[in-house]
Amino acid sequence: MYNNILTEQKGQIQFITINRPNQLNALNKETIEELNKAIVAANQDAQTGVIILTGSGEKSFVAGADIKEFADFNV
């Protein structure tokens, strides 16, 4: 369903995990779009009372923006 995030429902808790540990979970356009879809879906789910956002790997929750995407901009 998603390429860069994982979702898991445990009771009323929806866990959303950014899953790009090799890039220190840096946010690229696709990941941001996936996060938006997952959060909207969890918010609309009557079974979800809490959303927990986390990152995979052991080094970083989110390193920030994925600067590789900035190379595509003509500044």
Q: What is the pLDDT of residues 22-35, one digit of tens each?
A: 999 999 999 999 99
Distance CA 32, CA 65 (A): 10
Q: What is the pLDDT of residues 16-63, one digit of tens each?
A: 999 999 999 999 999 999 999 999 999 999 999 999 999 999 988 998
The three-state (H, E, C) secondary structure of the chain, written as one string: CCCCEEEEEECCEEEEEECCHHHCCCECHHHHHHHHHHHHHHHHCCCCCEEEEEECCCCCCCCCECHHHHHHCCC
pTM as predicted: 0.88
